[in-house]
Amino acid sequence: MTLILGQRILCSLMSLGPSLHQLPVTGFRKAFDLLNNIGGVPRDKSVVVTDIAVPVADRQVGLRLYRPAGSVPTRSMVFFHGGGCVIGGLESHDGFCRQMAQQANMAIIAVDYRLAPECKFPGQLDDSLAAWNWVVDNAASLQLDAATMGIGGDSAGANIAVVLAMQLFADALPDKHLSATPAFQFLLYPLVDFRCQSASYTEHGRGLLLTAPITRFFRDSYLNNSQEALKPSVSPLLATDVSQAPKTLVITAEYDVLRDEGLAFVEKLQQADIAISHLHLQDCTHGFISLAKFSRKTRQRVREVCASLESIKLT
């Protein structure tokens, strides 16, 4: 199966000029937000949205709470956006969070964690753990049920979700803990191996939305040194014990430098007898949620992702 035409055209056009990671990081962020504003998942205005500022030490972490219109959801998910821990934020993923909330009938709490290179590892984990704990501790006042609250993210956001959900952060954040174990984890084309050396880096490392050079730029911006890529708190695929993993939904894409590590992570959880569902999209590239407006088929794939999320059973 070939890459969806709309995705293929957009990736080809974006490959004509210099790579976005060669811009100043502020320009890269603006370009990514613009791409999502123009081409991302359409914003469902019926979804009820509330912005929250959470105090954490000497700073604040922004959250955005999405509630589906016309129903009272029984489940919720704390969501971490992708972008290599360098780009992305509440605005870049606003349309996708709205669609997840409405279609999956789920409250979504998006987290605006600090970005690299201004904030290096493990600052993003620290913000995200604090955000998760705050939402859990304040679930009653937010009209959420902590017992049915999951955790999720796309790409590098999925990395954060895995490290928190599987409690792999002890070496990076000693003496910190989860207020509650997530009921499930949702991982959309997850980045789980920051060594960036699988075969898919060669097969799909050029000419797509996420390239091998961009991924390595993200890694080098996020980490303090190359040896950190060997830590399970950075590369959860390398964890020897995955028994803490909750029920898991993984979405992988064929045309993706992260394809092989995502598939290897699925196999690792399966071998550990973790309850896991896996959807492999044979005709999509990494970041297709940023290209949804340009293709009917891509919008259908987004609906399939949200349907998979809605179908997670917690009993």
Could you tell me how far CA 119 lies from the centroid of its own chain? 18
Q: Which residues, 6 or more positions from 212, have their beta carbon under 8 angstroms from its beta carbon? A: 196, 201, 202, 205, 206, 257
Q: Is 126 a catalytic residue?
A: no
Q: Is 256 a catalytic residue?
A: yes
Marked catalytic residue, from 21, 93, 286, 290: 286
Return the residue matching tokens 């904030």. 119
DSSP H stretches of helix in the chain: 5-14, 25-39, 94-103, 123-137, 156-165, 199-203, 212-222, 259-271, 296-310
148 in Cβ contact with 74 (< 8 Å):
yes
Marked catalytic residue, from 128, 155, 198, 221: 155
Q: Is 286 a catalytic residue?
A: yes
- Sort 124 into a burial class: Cβ within 10 Å, 0-12 / 13-18 / 19+: buried
Q: What gap in Å lies between CA 165 and CA 178, rounded to an integer?
A: 8
Task: Give the CA distances from residue 125 to residues 61, 88, 157, 170, 302, in Å, rounded to whole numbers and listed in that order.
Answer: 12, 16, 10, 11, 27
Marked catalytic residue, from 112, 256, 260, 283: 256
Active-site annotation, residues: 155, 256, 286
